[in-house]
Amino acid sequence: MAKAAVQHACSECGYTTGKWLGRCPDCGSWGTLVEERALAAAPGVRGGAAAGRPLLRLVEVEAADAARLPTGVPELDRVLGGGLVPASLVLVSGDPGIGKSTLLLMALRAMSAERKVVLVTGEESPAQVKLRADRLGGGAAVDVLAETNLDEVCATLERERPEVCVVDSVQTLYAPELGSAPGSVAQVREAAGRLLRVAKEHGVATFLVGHVTKEGAVAGPRVLEHLVDCVLHFEGDRYRSHRILRAVKNRFGSTNELGVFEMTSEGLAAVADPSELFGRPDEEQPGSAVVCTIEGTRPLLLEVQALVSPTDLAMPRRVGTGVDPKRLSMVVAVLGRHAGVALGAADVFVNVAGGVRIDEPGADLGVALAIASAARGAPVKRGVACFGEIGLTGRIRPVSQAERRLAECAKLGFSEVLVPDGTESRGRMRLTAAATLRTAISAGLDASGSSEG
């Protein structure tokens, strides 16, 4: 009897090799190569037995722009780019208990009124799903399949031909012909590949629920993210009631869109005005500034908090929650070199209120203003918001969509906005233009409330 072929695959990137290695040659990760049984080649593939498929000329392909399917959850539609694309494969990841199953069950309930939908549950029994559905208002016409055998799942989808399917979760599925356990590299890769073929061939829009690692990345090989059309990440603090859904990858729309939810006893409720929730600062408190950022097409006002404290360490700490640590270090360096805010002997802590993460450079001015306010003990002037990108020379650079940012500031009642020099407004907003960071700090801080001597 021939010995079964064995290979080792990296759980991070999917790289395969014939022998075990301590470090993956492809991604450089240590201790990630796990043993799996290699699949035998399909008969008839070698020797020219396979006839193949005819080629298609690109100009002859009919590019029918299929209408997107509304999910019934407006915030989810926003992140997807306007709705769910038919025959697409969407991966939804997030920490355990963050609300992934609740969000997708809400979408299935809304879509089941007009479309055939199926929920494949591998982690919960139908009774558990029923309890969650009752809490959300009833399961309506959602069909449930409690199965982890990949062959059975694919056969059911091919037979029933639903328009929308949710697989919760992809790590629980297993192919019997593979010798590895469910959740292994080989099993996750096989499950995603076969579900992709079913989705494309039979027009089934499929959601895959994926587990995450301790670092917050999608568990399993990176090939899983490359196979799917969209990767949505559901994030939030377990001690807070608010959740944020953002697109990491989207072949059919922008990756800058953001959806905000609030976890309630009756499920996830959409937050219609996140700026009202996150953009209310502590009045007359040093170390707090309001910055207006752009997330996709949505302007968002956020409160940035900073704490500057003398340090006894040889290397002062620069700790940022919700901001890029490298960007924070750059802002601190520019403050010391070009704005006269000495921070070389102090620890600097920055936090974005509400658990939101800021990736846009246009928030640099808000971060710098909050740090300068904390360092000098002077609060930011009442009713002042800001936005602007900071250059290494200390100049404030203009940012895009300034008019939309100003409109959002006016809607929440801010009387003055600190903006880069050259920004124009068509409304009646009072603008304070600043060409350099030093000028912006002088204009934004309330000198009368300073605690400096």
pLDDT band at 47 (very low <50, low <70, confident <90, very high): very low
Residue 450 pLDDT > 70? no
For 5-24, the pLDDT digits (tens) are 678 888 777 788 888 889 98
Mean pLDDT of 232-259: 86
Write down the residue that tokens 């591998």 correspond to. 122
Residue 28 pLDDT > 50? yes
**pLDDT reported for residue 453:** 37
What is the rounded distance in angstroms from the CA atom of residue 68 to the CA atom of residue 197?
20
What is the rounded distance in angstroms from the CA atom of residue 284 to the CA atom of residue 36?
61
What is the rounded distance in angstroms from the CA atom of residue 170 to the CA atom of residue 208?
6
Mean pLDDT of 276-292: 84
Q: Write down the domain spans for the chain.
A: 1-38, 68-272, 276-448
Strand-pairing partners, residue 393, are none
What is the rounded distance in angstroms from the CA atom of residue 356 to the CA atom of residue 260?
10
pTM (predicted TM-score): 0.77
Which of 62-71, 126-135, 287-296 is predicted least confidently? 62-71
For 344-388, the pLDDT digits (tens) are 999 999 999 887 888 899 999 999 999 999 999 999 999 999 999
Contacts of 163 (CB under 8 A, 6+ apart): 69, 86, 111, 115, 116, 117, 203, 204, 205
* Higher pLDDT, residue 282 or 419: 419
For 153-186, the pLDDT digits (tens) are 999 999 999 999 999 989 899 998 887 788 888 8
**pLDDT reported for residue 256:** 80
Residue 39 pLDDT > 60? no
Cα distances from 199 to residues 76, 87, 88, 128, 373, in angstroms, run 20, 5, 7, 27, 54
**pLDDT reported for residue 27:** 82
Q: Is 68-272 assigned to CATH 3.40.50.300?
A: yes
Mean pLDDT of 98-118: 93
Whether the CB-CB separation of 116 and 257 falls below 8 Å is answered with no
Whether the CB-CB separation of 210 and 220 falls below 8 Å is answered with yes
Strands 33-37 and 16-17: unpaired
Whether the CB-CB separation of 387 and 396 falls below 8 Å is answered with no
Whether the CB-CB separation of 308 and 374 falls below 8 Å is answered with yes
What is the rounded distance in angstroms from the CA atom of residue 286 to the CA atom of residue 376?
8
> Which CATH number is associated with domain 276-448?
3.30.230.10
Whether the CB-CB separation of 151 and 175 falls below 8 Å is answered with yes
pLDDT band at 72 (very low <50, low <70, confident <90, very high): very high
pLDDT band at 128 (very low <50, low <70, confident <90, very high): very high
| HEC profile of the chain | CCCCCEEEEECCCCCEECCCCCECCCCCCECCEEEEECCCCCCCCHHHCCCCCCCCCHHHCCCCCCCCECCCCHHHHHHHCCCECCCCEEEEEECCCCCHHHHHHHHHHHHCCCCCEEEEECCCCHHHHHHHHHHHCCCCCCEEEECCEHHHHHHHHHHHCCCEEEEECHHHCECCCCCCCCCCHHHHHHHHHHHHHHHHHHCCEEEEEECECCCCCECCCCHHHHHCCEEEEEECCCCCCEEEEEEEEECCCCCCCEEEEEEECCEEEECCCHHHHHCCCCCCCCCEEEEEEEECCEEEEEEEEEEEEECCCCCCCEEEECCCHHHHHHHHHHHHHHCCCCCCCEEEEEEEHHHCCCCCHHHHHHHHHHHHHHHHCCCECCCEEECCEECCCCEEECCCCHHHHHHHHHHCCCCEEEEECCCCCCCCCEEEEECEHHHHHHHHECHHHCCCC
Average pLDDT, the chain: 87
